[in-house]
Amino acid sequence: MRLLVIFSFLLLTVNLNAQKKVMQHEDKALWNRIRPVEISNSGDYMLYNLGPEEKDQTLHVQTTNGEEILSYERARDARFSYDSRHVAFTVNAYKDSIREMKRNKMKKKDMPKDTLIIYDINGNSINKIANVKSFRMPEKWGGVVAYMLEATKMKKKKKDTAKAKEKDTLKVKKKLKKVSKDNGFHLVIRNLETGTEDTLKYVYSYAIAKEGRHLVYATSGVVDSLGGGVYHYDVDKASKSLLLASHHKTKYPQLGISDSGQRAGFVVDADSTKSLIKMPKLYVWNLGDKEANLIVDSEKNNSDLLVSSDRRLQFSENESRLFYGLRTKPIVQDTTLLDEEIVNVEVWTYDEPRLYTVQELDVSDDKKKSYLSLYDFDKKKSVQIANLDYDLARYGDEGNSNYAVTGNQTPYLLQSQWTAQRPMDLERVDLNTGERKPIASKVYGGSAISPKGKYMYGYSRKDSTWFTYNLETLKYTALTKGRQFYNELHDYPDDPYSYGSAGWTDDDDKFLIYDRYDIWAFNPETGASENLTKGRASKLRYRYVRLDREERSIPNDKDWMLSTFNEDSKYGGTASYNPKQKAVKQLMEGPYSYGQFRMAQNDKKNRLIYTRESFTDFPNFWSTNTSFKSPKQITDANPQQSDYNWGTSEMVEWTSLDGKSLRGMLIKPENFDPNKKYPLIVNFYEKSSDGLYRHRAPSYGRSTINYPFYASRGYVIFNPDVYYRDGYPGESAFNCVIPGVTMLIEKGFIDKDNIGVQGHSWGGYQIAYLVTKTDIFKAAESGAPVPNMISAYGGIRWWTGLSRQFQYEHTQSRIGGTPWEYPQRYIENSPIFNIDKINTPLLIMHNDADGHVPWYQGIEFFVSLRRLGKPSWFLNYNDEPHWPLKMQNRIDFNIRMAQFFDHYLKGEPLPVWMDRGVPAIEKGINQGYEFIDSDKD
């Protein structure tokens, strides 16, 4: 009887598994994403949007115990008030409705406008405000929302000539301006408790104090002749005071207010002419002043620099300084010239610091470039910090520090074309006097400043050393010289990167630096160090997690939260570190990846939320406190997953052809049967095995196969780690990948005659190389590949304008030198010279707006295959970059790639597009997804 029960249970399990759905392309659209997520300052509530990609999102507000208190469709930009009593967000029409309006050619000005929704949590009530352009809530005080209204059409009223008084009223109304971009929009300040509102009319811009209940705003005035200028608004008193009066055409490109609201600064451009060179003025105001004070007048500035209209105004934390920008006069063109009289020529010079293509992309930024300066309220004077040579500037202690550091990269920009490193000459600037002193020349590693402003610090890749400079004494201290605080697995022909740092403890006491596993505390003056975590012996990696959004330094008086990662098991986890007892306590560990930690900022219970994920578990949110006791799952984004045949992930190990022990991920269908033979798809980039417990939700991926989709459809997926030898990237990939594939074949469940390979960019290159060396793959998809390293070396990365030389000499392509230094390496690693050896059918995707890999590389590959009559197909998504971003193109790519692999690896029918292509005359009309009728001759 017992055997019968067991047999019945097993039969039921098999039947249940057999009933699970095989995922189809359209099913990918069912998967929801959680974004964005916020926890209230009180710790009682959280909010998030839930919905499929490209679809309307639904806002969910719930307690941190998981109880839902509000669900609202089409919500965007939701946020809690500082006091955690209200939620504000906007809604608009359904996306499908908007799509239909666009289809019917509705004008943009007639499209539906946003509605602001204000939800009272305690009262469980909702207020709706129509035609809202934007809204803001104060950062550190509650009870108020500020929203700006859209311009709306006023209905015309019929004149009543019977009453003279009404005629007079109509005349007055005619003088009122239209709400518009030129005249400003109406700004409403709403009390969230009482619902009372105050309307500030024709507002260009405004700034809300972070902590004080004040704001400043600029307005063009109620009518052209009345009320234009900058005003201070006291929220509690609902009163406004004029800081600067000006005419209605005046522009106010920058407004700033201190955290307390006691001080304000603003840039004013009162030039209403069509002058090509504007002369802005900078004003400041203190609470209690009758009017603002002019501190920098561009027309009278002794330095011949103008006040910048583009640099944001920022106050120091103690509010004694206002930081602003000065800029050179703009270069203007003769406006009397006709188009046919203007010379359009690019003059490229061999020794200019920036390549012309970089300059071209930087034109907009160059036009706005300014040099950091400050105004000292106590000393009533300005100090210019950056200048034309030392144009990069940083300061510490939230602007309170005595010193800033300025840098000059220009002497080294030219060589960065091939080195990909930008050292700097550095100077120290005294923020009280403006005195400048050199720190050092050609410093690698940047110019970061410690939180309290006592030290400049960085990591020099040139000598693999973390260092500090005492900004008072200018003393240099090498902290890690000769010690391995750089990447131990570094396999580039270049200087190794560091593992990063956790930051500084309070009062700049200690600098916390990571090695491969641990957190070390360094004395910034002496270099003395201490290992705080001691994880190396167990291969456990510790990293600091910042839970306080306002945190600038790591506290010495309370426990730190750390993330952990076991390099062997790939288990994630969390731990705490007690800085007084110098003790680590593991809080949580398991076969998961943890992340997205959010802690309430004003909660004595120290509640927080986080995500937990694995290959089978979507990264849903869990709630707990900093003890991580009794965590509770509080979201369930995709319950439908249980209806589908999913997959499992596991680690596999093998040895490379050159003797390295390797690891990789193996994905199997959920209903895997070791006695069956499965088609295999190999997908890889560099090293991915640390992502063993990463979730991959079904999606219309832009460049790679979707693991659960292919596993659901009966494929096994293999993702091997690749280690590289300088100068031989192609051979390195072969040495790592191919023995991994043969290892799987030997296990007996892989159909050796139906193995495919897929990858993009660097992965696409390696695939192009592999198929010239082996016939083990029956089909291959190679995205954005480089078949010709010689021509690619001389290309441009069009998104940045940078030369591609550095990539081959020092970074990912790993050749280690120039084509004239190592011509044989370039030839040996370039598939173009061995394309005649390819016997694997190829699908190539390379788009004509690719800003990473020049798309002519994909063309070189395809036309060479075409010349040899090799089965190959080329996909170019017009105007798309390195990957297709538009949803319709991503869906198309997913369909075609699946049809390609299904045909070659599973014997599915040939789709029309693979049989005859899609002729140009049919582009955008017929996709050719339908299958060829195999019964016809």
Q: pLDDT at position 767, please? A: 98
Report the alpha-carbon distance of residue 788 to residue 201 in Å, rounded: 62
Question: What DSSP designation does 832 have?
Answer: G
Confidence of residue 303 (pLDDT cuts 50, 70, 90): confident
Residue bearing tokens 């840039």: 267
Tens of pLDDT, residues 512-547:
999 999 999 999 999 999 999 999 999 999 999 999
Q: Which two tokens stand for residue 860?
A: 């070189």
- Nearest residue to 586 via CA among 600, 597, 571, 599: 571
In this model, does residue 497 exceed pLDDT 80?
Answer: yes
Q: Which two tokens stand for residue 869?
A: 């009559």
Confidence of residue 6 (pLDDT cuts 50, 70, 90): very low
User: How many H helices and E strands in the chain?
Assistant: 16, 53
The amino acid present at 182, given as its one-letter code, is D
Report the alpha-carbon distance of residue 419 to residue 431 in Å, rounded: 34
Confidence of residue 886 (pLDDT cuts 50, 70, 90): very high
Question: What DSSP designation does 905 have?
Answer: H
Question: What DSSP designation does 929 have?
Answer: -
Q: Is 510 buried (19+), middle (13-18) or exposed (0-12) by CB count in 10 A?
A: buried
Tens of pLDDT, residues 39-91:
999 999 999 999 999 899 999 999 999 999 999 999 999 999 999 999 999 99
Q: pLDDT at position 13, please? A: 45
Mean pLDDT of the chain: 94
The distance of Cα 340 from the centroid of its chain, to the nearest Å, equals: 43
Q: pLDDT at position 161, please? A: 52
In this model, does residue 155 exceed pLDDT 60?
Answer: no
DSSP H helical ranges for 678-761: 707-712, 729-746
Q: pLDDT at position 934, please? A: 54
Contacts 24+ apart (CB under 8 A), 806-811: 806/416, 806/417, 806/418, 806/419, 806/420, 807/420, 809/418, 809/419, 809/493, 810/418, 810/419, 810/420, 810/492, 810/493, 810/494, 811/420, 811/492, 811/494
Report the alpha-carbon distance of residue 575 to residue 588 in Å, rounded: 7
Backbone φ and ψ for 827, nearest 5 degrees, come out as -70, -45
The 10 Å Cβ neighbour count of residue 733 is: 26
The DSSP secondary structure of 129-171, one letter per residue, reads EEEEEEEE--SS--SEEEEEEPP-PPPPPPP-TT-HHHHHHHH
CB 895 within 8 A of CB 843: no
The amino acid present at 753, given as its one-letter code, is D
Tens of pLDDT, residues 541-590:
999 999 998 999 999 999 999 999 999 999 999 999 999 999 999 999 99
Q: pLDDT at position 225, please? A: 66
For the chain, give the percent of residues with pLDDT over 90.
89
C-alpha separations of 840 from 603, 677, 704, 788, 913 in Å: 61, 21, 19, 19, 19
The half-sphere exposure of 413 on its side-chain side, counting CA atoms within 13 A, is 15
The half-sphere exposure of 581 on its side-chain side, counting CA atoms within 13 A, is 9
The b/e string for 344-367 (b: 16+ C-beta within 10 A; e otherwise) is: eeeeeeeeebbbebbeebeeeeee
In this model, does residue 827 exceed pLDDT 70?
Answer: yes
C-alpha separations of 463 from 70, 459, 523, 815, 937 in Å: 56, 9, 20, 21, 69
Tens of pLDDT, residues 652-711:
999 999 999 999 999 999 999 999 999 999 999 999 999 999 999 999 999 999 999 999
C-alpha separations of 844 from 189, 764, 917 in Å: 56, 9, 13
Spatial neighbors of 101 by CB under 8 A, at least 6 apart, are 93, 111, 112
Report the alpha-carbon distance of residue 565 to residue 595 in Å, rounded: 12
Tens of pLDDT, residues 586-608:
999 999 999 999 999 999 999 99
Tens of pLDDT, residues 762-803:
999 999 999 999 999 999 999 999 999 999 999 999 999 999
Report the alpha-carbon distance of residue 487 to residue 492 in Å, rounded: 11
C-alpha separations of 588 from 531, 624, 626 in Å: 22, 12, 11
- First-last CA distance in the chain: 58
Rg (CA), the chain: 32
Q: What is the pTM of this model?
A: 0.93
Largest CA-CA distance found in the chain, in angstroms, rounded:
103
Q: pLDDT at position 304, please? A: 86
Q: Is 786 buried (19+), middle (13-18) or exposed (0-12) by CB count in 10 A?
A: buried
- Nearest residue to 660 via CA among 483, 831, 829, 491: 491
Give ∠ CA 635-640-643 in degrees, rounded to 5.
140
